[in-house]
Amino acid sequence: MPWTQNYAAIGNSIGLTALAVSLPIFYLFWALAIKRMKGHIAGSTTLLFTIIDVIIVYKMPVGLAISASLLGILNGLFPIAWIIVTAVFLYNLTVEAGQFDIIKSSIASLSNDRRLQALLIAFSFGAFLEGAAGFGTPVAITGAILIGLGFEPLYAAGLCLLANTAPVAFGGIGAPILAAAAATGVSGNIISAAVGRQLPFLSVFVPLYLIIVMAGWKGAKEVLPAILTAGVTFAIAQWWSSNFLGPMLPDIIASLFSLVCLATLLKFWKPKNIWRFPNEKGEKVEQYKKYTGGQILKAWSPFIVLTLIVAIWGTNSFKDYVGKTLKWFVMIPHWPGLDGFVMKAAPIVKKPTLYAANYKFDFFAYAGTAILITAVITMIILRISPARSAKVAGTTLKTLIYPVITIGSVLGFAYIANYSGLSYTLGLLFAQTGHAFPFFSPMLGWLGVFLTGSDTSANALFGQLQNVSAQQIGINPILAIAANSSGGVMGKMISPQSIAVAAAATGLVGRESDLFRFTLKHSIFLLLLVCIMTYLQAYVFQGMMPTIAGIMPMIASILH
């Protein structure tokens, strides 16, 4: 007989139960922010604590708790950790081939200024990678590039996490929006339009905030033309594409438009002063060697190939071809000891529903495999022998052992949070805030991304809860669904999964706690901005949000 989730297991109280099952989350914050534990230790002990907690509080059978954890760990290895390993391997190949000096020179030809390099790489190029692949790819790639340019590791990782906010809701070819649509039954185009009327405000602000974090307000004022160019062009393209083209292309279109406009500006405008990090003060600004167009093209070829392949990998036609035509995957349709053994209950579902559990090893569909294929092509283009490549691969794997453990344990925690009902208990607590719910609605998405590491997962987890709660208090449910995604992106930078990815890419393994402390305050501040904006859109600027009736003429005009 299936075990039924009980979201108010202690004294029939959502509040008391939420307090009890929040202990592992508080522990994780304490371990990283105060105790400064290494990531793999904090992650592993949090997973163990969570297993014990849900067994005691929810009376979850031990076998179910362990099985859910193992399923999460496996999903942490493939596809998430697989992206990190292949991304760092690709970067290391370019270094091994001596091409990264040319890449640095080509970027420096646009600007030697660290502020402008951050805008180009962390914000604009990172947004493209988020749109094409998502799931850790942008932070892994852009973090490695910034390190190669000479950024301090902590700033390289922290800035990439901070920059990877505005594009996340449309990442992976619109995966988070499509997940929200599937969870709520609301059209993905409507949700896309709603999110596209929230995030563009942040897209204008994030580049400014990014540079203020780096160089202070004075340093930001010196490059204000570049900041406005990067942010405003991204925001305009993001708004237009999300409202008129749907959820799949906003990041791709906005990032390329932003990148081209910013690069064009830098051909005609330069800041008065070249800004460097404090540890670089007194150092002579490096004068890079001039290279031919062919040499620059060759050096950038790994990332050009990556862009093309990742873009292809993200299309539905390619996924359909691999999944339905080639069928190159291994499917475990019924995860042992879990599938058919857990029952969701009201009010999360209208009637008791079995919680499915399966695992699909879809090697050729993974973004990490796209990066691996890019690495193989890179070996050919840059003429790196198999022996040298194998040596680079071995070194890469050796340095990433602990980050892989961190990612596995974090995903194990995420899965047990879902299958035990922990996530739903916390969600129901937020849903009880009544008139103030629009303010707290983004926090629910933020919590979901912190727990799962994914805006896609957070939307699947809490999308319907947002929908139902909004209807109960009488606000536009489209706003609440959108707020789940918009608030969720602010949790991305503090998700232990993201922290592990960034630490691995920038050589900060063992210093995950420092990175968490760096991003936490920024995450909370940006989240509060989204909370205020959502509250105002709920009660003051109600006309900003689309409704199902209002969006239909727009969709019809697109189709015709």
Is the CA virtual torsion 302, 304, 307, 313 positive or negative? negative
- Average pLDDT, integer, range 489-507: 87
Per-residue pLDDT band for 560 (boundaries 50, 70, 90) equals very low
Residue 429: the pLDDT is 85
Per-residue pLDDT band for 559 (boundaries 50, 70, 90) equals very low
Q: Are 199 and 225 in contact (CB under 8 A)?
A: no
Q: Which of 23, 38, 25 shows the shortest CA–CA distance to 516? A: 38
Task: Please write the tens of the pLDDT for every residue from 135-170.
Answer: 677 888 888 888 888 888 898 999 999 999 888 888
Residues paired with residue 342 on neighbouring β-strands, in sequence order: 3
Residue 558: the pLDDT is 38
Q: Are 489 and 130 in contact (CB under 8 A)?
A: no
**What is each CA distance from 402 to 81, 130, 412, in whole angstroms?**
11, 24, 15
163-172, 177-186, 278-287: range with lowest mean pLDDT: 278-287
* Cα R_g (the chain), whole angstroms: 23
- Average pLDDT, integer, range 498-512: 85
- Average pLDDT, integer, range 84-112: 81
Alpha-carbon gap, residue 540 to 528, rounded angstroms:
17
**pTM of the entire predicted model:** 0.77
b/e code 42-52 from CB counts within 10 Å (16+ = b): bbbbbbebbbe
- Average pLDDT, integer, range 248-276: 89
Report the residue count for the chain.
Answer: 560
pLDDT at 64 over 60: yes
**What is each CA distance from 188 to 53, 135, 177, 508, in whole angstroms?**
37, 20, 6, 38
Q: Which residues lie closer than 8 Å to 264 by C-beta, 6 or more apart?
A: none
Residues paired with residue 331 on neighbouring β-strands, in sequence order: 360
Task: Please write the tens of the pLDDT for every residue from 369-380.
Answer: 888 999 999 999
Q: Which of 274, 298, 296 shows the shortest CA–CA distance to 287? A: 274
Amino acid type, 129: L
Amino acid type, 97: A
Residue 230: the pLDDT is 95
Q: Which of 192, 94, 73 shows the shortest CA–CA distance to 145? A: 94
Q: What are phi and psi of 443, to 5 degrees?
A: -65, -30
Q: Are 348 and 7 in contact (CB under 8 A)?
A: yes
Element (H or E) spanning 343, and its range? strand 342-344
pLDDT at 553 over 50: no
212-221, 293-302, 336-345, 551-560: range with lowest mean pLDDT: 551-560
60-69, 253-262, 278-287: range with lowest mean pLDDT: 278-287
Residue 287: the pLDDT is 62
- Average pLDDT, integer, range 213-220: 93
pLDDT at 132 over 70: no
Q: Which residues lie closer than 8 Å to 50 by C-beta, 6 or more apart?
A: 24, 413, 416, 417, 422
Amino acid type, 34: I
Residue 340: the pLDDT is 92
Element (H or E) spanning 331, and its range? strand 330-332
Per-residue pLDDT band for 34 (boundaries 50, 70, 90) equals confident
Alpha-carbon gap, residue 220 to 271, rounded angstroms:
11
DSSP summary character for residue 332: E
Task: Please write the tens of the pLDDT for every residue from 405-424.
Answer: 887 887 788 789 889 998 88
DSSP summary character for residue 285: P
- Average pLDDT, integer, range 223-230: 96
Residue 450: the pLDDT is 85
Q: Helix, strand, or coil here: 540?
A: coil
Percent of the chain, pLDDT > 90? 42
pLDDT at 555 over 50: no
∠ CA 246-451-58, rounded to 5°: 125
pLDDT at 367 over 90: no
Within 13 Å of residue 413, how many CA atoms lie on the same side as its CB? 33
Query: Mean pLDDT: which of 78-87, 113-122, 278-287, 445-454 is highest?
Result: 113-122
Task: Please write the tens of the pLDDT for every residue from 316-355.
Answer: 777 777 767 766 778 899 999 999 999 999 888 888 999 9
∠ CA 61-66-70, rounded to 5°: 150
Residue 551: the pLDDT is 46
- The larger pLDDT score, comparing residue 457 to residue 168, is at 168
Q: Are 63 and 403 in contact (CB under 8 A)?
A: no
